[in-house]
Amino acid sequence: MKTTQRIDVHGLSIRGDGHRKNHDHFAIASLSKSMRLHQSNLTLDDESLVHGHSQGHLFLVADGISDGPAPDRASGAAVDSVVSYFLNEMPWYHLADGSPEDVTLALEDALHNAQDELLESFASKDRRKPGTTLTLAFVFWPNLYIAHVGDSRCYLNRSGTLRQLTTDHCQDDRTAAEAKAAAHVEHRLWNALGGKRAILKPEVRHVRLLPGDRLALVTDGVTQANPKAELRTILERCDSAEDACDRLMDGSGQDDRTAIVARFLPPEGIESLAEEAVPSPHLAVRRSVPKPERNRKVRATRTCADRNRRGPNWRIAQ
């Protein structure tokens, strides 16, 4: 029998002093199968909402690229696309108990779908293309899958050791001294949603979580303002996910800052698990699969008319 995993999660985003609008967007969602029972002679009230055993969690952060058109719209559209994909197209409840390879294919397809929709929604004569980072965490206890493009980051804090689970997809030809002197300057990204490059290369990782783990998804405004040692201290000593987010937003800065913090508490009735020896996190990087194979396995072909028929997109408040 599966135990219920308790998760304390919170997200927060603030606009930087150097921007008129917040270019960051985030989303936190719980995933579950359910049905509404309208009438029955079972021992349930009419209109009862019945949930299945499968339950997952979805966390996303996105940071619009400042030198592209409407970076706030780009990041919002990317988050909206992924949330809609999970809700309307991705059979996550089947994939959650499937092989890591199947989940990897689905997450890669979710990002490619966001890429297609982002470029289509901004189609114009403007040569500049919209661009945004996107870091996604899909949790189906005890499995964590990270899908990522750009330089937003995902960190795992386990027993006082902080580990970065993502790679910064940026290129920088400056010297070390120049980079240090201009640390606040945005790096050029070689891998992001939208942008000038048509080829997208999602990075996907699989991690086995343990009770007591703490996860943080942050945009680069947070990492610039909080050195790794300080970030580790905040995650380790915080009393709640909300407290951690508040501390990560302390002070002011030129760039927007967004953070999602999740604390994985011991399951109900199994408090002793938190006292067990904690091994180092197991990371597995999955190879990218050509898009035609990904489409055959996961994604149904949609036309523009199909997209229009599915109704208004789920929106994130800025």
pLDDT for 177 equals: 46
Using CA atoms in the order 293, 295, 296, 302, what is the torsion angle rounded to 10 degrees? -160
Burial of 246 (0-12, 13-18, 19+ CB in 10 A): middle
Q: State the average pLDDT for the chain.
A: 77
Is 36 domain-assigned?
no
Is 41 domain-assigned?
no
Percent of the chain with pLDDT over 90: 45
DSSP 8-state assignment for residue 89: T
**Over residues 259-284, mean pLDDT:** 58
Is 180 domain-assigned?
yes
Judged by average pLDDT, the poorest of 5-14, 56-65, 119-128, 217-226 is 119-128
Half-sphere exposure of 303 (CA within 13 A, CB side): 3
Cβ atoms within 10 Å, residue 121: 16
Is 80 domain-assigned?
yes
Does residue 311 carry a pLDDT above 50? Answer: no
- Write out pLDDT tens, residues 219-260: 999 998 889 999 999 999 999 999 999 999 987 677 899 999
pLDDT for 229 equals: 93
Tokens of 259: 């953070």
The angle at the Cα of 306, spanning 302 to 308, to the nearest 5 degrees, equals: 135
Cβ atoms within 10 Å, residue 200: 19
pLDDT for 66 equals: 78
Does residue 272 carry a pLDDT above 50? Answer: no
Q: How many domains does the chain have?
A: 1
Does residue 306 carry a pLDDT above 60? Answer: no
Does residue 175 carry a pLDDT above 60? Answer: no
- Write out pLDDT tens, residues 29-86: 988 877 788 888 777 777 777 766 668 899 999 999 877 778 899 999 999 999 999 9
Helix extents (H) in the chain = 71-88, 92-95, 100-121, 176-181, 220-225, 228-237, 241-248, 291-297, 304-309
Does residue 310 carry a pLDDT above 50? Answer: no
CA 120 and chain centroid, separation: 22
Does residue 289 carry a pLDDT above 60? Answer: no
DSSP three-state, residue 224: helix
Backbone dihedral angles phi then psi of residue 25, each to the nearest 5 degrees: -135, 155
Residue 207 is part of which domain span? 6-30+52-309
pLDDT winner (highest mean) among 4-18, 151-165, 173-187 = 151-165
Is 316 domain-assigned?
no
pLDDT for 120 equals: 85
**Over residues 307-316, mean pLDDT:** 37
pLDDT for 295 equals: 42
pLDDT for 215 equals: 98
* CATH number for 17: 3.60.40.10
Task: Give how far Cα 114 sits from Cα of 128, 149, 182, 192, 197, Å.
Answer: 18, 12, 32, 11, 14
Does residue 119 carry a pLDDT above 50? Answer: yes
How many residues make up the chain in this entry?
318
Q: Which residue has the higher pLDDT, 316 or 29?
A: 29
pLDDT for 38 equals: 85
pLDDT for 174 equals: 41
Is 115 domain-assigned?
yes
Q: Which residue has the higher pLDDT, 62 or 90?
A: 62
Say how far apart CA 87 and CA 62 lie, in whole Å. 19
- Write out pLDDT tens, residues 176-223: 444 444 444 445 788 999 866 567 899 999 999 999 999 999 999 999
Is 47 domain-assigned?
no
* Among the listed residues 49, 137, 37, the one whose alpha carbon sits nearest the alpha carbon of residue 86: 137
CB 223 within 8 A of CB 234: no
Is 40 domain-assigned?
no
